[in-house]
Chain A
Amino acid sequence: MVEVIEEPVRVAAVFNGRHTEIRWLQWRGRDYRIRQVTDHWRAREGRALFHYFAVTDGAMLFELRFHAEQLAWELTRTYCEG
C-alpha cells in the first residue's frame, strides 16, 4: 500500500556523477539500510529542482525527494506489500 508521508528524513547519499548511491535513511527514530536505488527522476516545481529517488531496504520501498537548492531530504511516500 502506498502511504503519503511528506516528512523530513536524514539520508546518507553518495553523489557519484550519474549514479547516486543511497546508503541509509533515518526516519521516525529508525535506521533503514538501503540495498538498492530502483528509480530516479527529476521534477521542476516552478524554478525549484527536485530529485526523486525510489529506494528499498528489501522490505519496503521509499520515495525520497531531494531539494537540490536547499540540500534537504524528504520522505514523500512509502510502499509496502498488503
Chain B
Amino acid sequence: MHVDMDAFFASVEQRGNPWLRGRPIAVSGSGWRSVVTSASYQARPFGISAGMPVAQAMRLCPALIRVEGNSDKYVETSEQVIALLREVTPLVEVASIDECYLDITGSLRLFGGAEALARRVKARIREEVGLACSVGVAPNKLMAKLASGLSKPDGLLRLTAEELPAWLEHLPVTELCGIGPRLGAALTAMGVRTCAELSRVPVAALTARFGIVGRHLHEMARGVDSTPVVPTEERPDAKSVGHTLTLDQDLHDREPMRRHLFRLAEEVARRLRKGRYAGRTVTVMVRYADFVTWSRQTTLEAPLDEGLAIYDAARRVFDGLRLRPLGVRLLGVTVSHLVHARDQLPLLPSLQRRRASVQAMDAVNDRYGEFTLTRATLLQMETRTRPISPSWRPLA
C-alpha cells in the first residue's frame, strides 16, 4: 500500500489558515528567486507545479498567494501521519516527508481486507491530522505508487494482479515511478510509449541499450517489482549527509559563494558529528539560474567531520570549477563514504585542542540555536536564510 499526502505543504498551510482554503497558493522558500515546493490544487489548473520558479508561477496566476514554507510544521505533521500509519502495521517505509509504503499483508484479516484498511487509514488521517491523502493498494510497491497517483486527489484505488495487464496496456511508461522524462525520451526514440509496448521489447534489446536497467525496465513494464517494504527504523545507516541552500539572489562572484559553502560545510559537519559519522568524499553542487546543475567531488585519505576541513576540501573543488556566466541560484555541500567516527581522541595535542573547541561550539549551538556561535567569517552573512535540508522538497 502506498500513501501519498495530497499537495502536502500547501494543504498544511491551508489547514492552518482559513483564508487560504479554496484558494490558489504556492509554498516556497523565502525570497523571490525561490522555487515553488508545493502548489494547492486550486493553483494547478494554471499550470503551476512544484519546481517552478515563483516568478513564473506568479505570471501564470497573478492571484496566486505565496506562502513561505515552514519545515517545522511539515515535519511535525508528517510524524503524526506516520504514527497513524503504524497503527495498522509496523511495516511502514517512509519514502519522503509526504509518502509512505506499507506492507499490509499481515493486517488484512484484522482490518477486514485491503479496502477497509485503506478507508480506515484515510479516515484517521482526515480526522486526526485534517488532511487528505491518496492511497494505492496493489501487489507491489511500484504498482501501489502508480495506483495512488492515479487516484489523486483524495482517492483510493486498488489494483489487483488480474487487473494489472489491462491497466498497463495503454499506460505511458513515464507514469511509472523511476522512468523520468529523459528515460522516457530515450524509450520514445525506440518507438516505445506505453508499458505494453515496453513489455514486448526483447530483454536483450533493452539491456543492450540501457545496461542492467534494461532488465529492470522489462519487469516494470509488466508491473513486476520485488523490492520489499523496508521499515524505516531498519534502514541501513545513512550514506551521506548534505545540505543545499537556495540563494535569495543569483550570485556571480565567488567570494560570497565561498562564504555560503563555508556555512553549509559547518552545518554538514555538525550533523555528521551528531550522528557520529565522518566521511571521505566531499561533493559540491552548483545550480545555475537556468537550473542546469553541476556537481564535482573529491575523495580524501582520511574521513572528515569538521566544518573547516570539509570547507577546505569543498573550496578546492569549487575553485577548480569554471563558473558559467549565468548566476548561481543554489549551492550544496554533501559528505559521503561515511564511516562511524571513532570516539578516541586524535593523538596530536593540537588536533585534540581543535576537536575540544569544536565540541564546545556544538554544545553552545545546541543551547542557543544554530549559527549563534561560529567562526568569524560567518558574521558578515545574514543569518536569517537557513540551509534548507534536501528532505524538505517533495522527492520525485
Contact = CB atoms under 8 A, between A and B. Distances in A.
Interface in B1-53: 12, 15-19
Contact of A46 (B15, B16, B73, B365): B365
A54 interface: yes
A54 B77 contact: no
B366 A46 contact: yes
Interface in A23-67: 36, 38-39, 41-43, 45-48, 52, 54, 56, 61
Q: Most chain-B Cβ atoms within 10 A of its Cβ — which of A36, A39, A43, A56?
A: A39
B19 A42 contact: no
B368 A41 contact: no
B15 A39 contact: yes
Contacts of A47: 366-367
Contacts of B163: none
B301 interface: no
A38 B368 CA distance: 29
Given A45-B369, A46-B372, A52 B17 contact: no
Given A43-B72, A52-B72, A38 B369 contact: no
A81 interface: yes
Contacts, number: 45
Contacts of B370: 45-46
A54 B17 contact: yes
B16 A54 contact: yes
Contacts of B15: 38-39
Contacts of B76: 41-42
Give chain B's interface secondary structure class: helix
A67 B55 CA distance: 36
Interface string B222-245: 000000000000000000000000
Nearest to A54: B16
A41 B372 contact: no
Given A45-B369, A46-B365, A61 B73 contact: no
Contacts of A46: 365-370, 372
A5 to B, nearest CB: 15
Contacts of B77: 41
A68 B281 CA distance: 40
Interface of B: 12, 15-19, 68, 70, 72-73, 76-77, 365-370, 372
